[in-house]
Amino acid sequence: MGLLSAGVWLAATALLAWPQGLKEGDLAPDFTLPDQDEVNHTLSDYRGQKLLVYFYPKDDTPGCTKEACGLRDAYADYEAANIAILGISYDTPGSHRKFREKHNLPFTLLSDSKKVVAELYGTRGIYPLAIRRSFLINEEGYIVKIIKDVDVTTHSQDVLQHFRESAPQP
């Protein structure tokens, strides 16, 4: 087997073995992670409220900062719609604290330094960074939308629009 064909075989094998992740309609897997202040948060504690769980690669990088600041700027709309926000990356609580303070972020950032939750949610990348992906979870804990192709410039408004569209009509 030549070098090129061996590389293609390895890549194909890795893709076949890669977890397919969650689907819309699945119950969101429960987890507990520390926040920027090293206080633990458990997903099931958010039942009864809509929730955006967004995975992002790294604190204080251009795309991640743009995404977080967009959520910050729309935060009043999230509060009005009773939507909590949890951002998750592999960064430490200390890194999250600095990032949050620097950009005046009003929502919680969780540290998945062991990559356990990223594995559960199918966002563990082959690089040392999480895959950027968002999970919109309803009041009962079910995933109503997975955004795989996140546009950091419109993400905050895209999430709000998805929640509006999935809301029961009177």
**Residue 69 annotated to the active site:** no
Catalytic residue among 51, 53, 64, 137: 64
Which two three-digit tokens encode residue 114?
A: 């062991």
Q: With CA atoms as reference, report the closest residue to 133 among 15, 22, 34.
A: 22
Residue 163's contacts (CB-CB under 8 Å, 6 or more residues apart) are: 50, 81, 83, 136, 144
Q: For residues 41 and 33, is the Cβ–Cβ distance under 8 A?
A: yes
Distance CA 112, CA 141 (A): 20
The set of catalytic residues is 64
